[in-house]
Amino acid sequence: MLLQYKQKETDLVKSILQYLEIIGADAGKTKTLGIYDQKKKGYRADPFLFRGFADITGFYKKKLFFIECKSKTGTLSDKQKRFRELCKDA
């Protein structure tokens, strides 16, 4: 089921995580920010980050689930599509 919202994806992730907590699911957000570099005073890409991994991972009623959050105009990247295929084939 595709739900469309007029909010930023970060706000959507927060709302979904709040809902999942209410229903008793154990879930969390996937880290995507990278590693803070003190010398550069900014973030750099984490070379070990699984590109395309879903925004939210969780467990509910003994089932593992992944949720990718997109705004109304958002689209899946090639790496996100690949992750979806990996999940389907697992």
Give the pLDDT confidence of 23-82 residue by residue, as tens digits: 999 999 988 777 888 998 888 888 888 889 999 999 999 999 999 999 888 899 999 999
DSSP, collapsed to helix, strand or coil, labels residue 56 as strand
Burial of 44 (0-12, 13-18, 19+ CB in 10 A): exposed
pTM here is 0.79
DSSP H helices, 1-90, are: 9-22, 78-89
pLDDT for 4: 56
Do 58 and 20 touch, CB atoms closer than 8 A? Answer: yes
Amino acid 32: pLDDT: 77
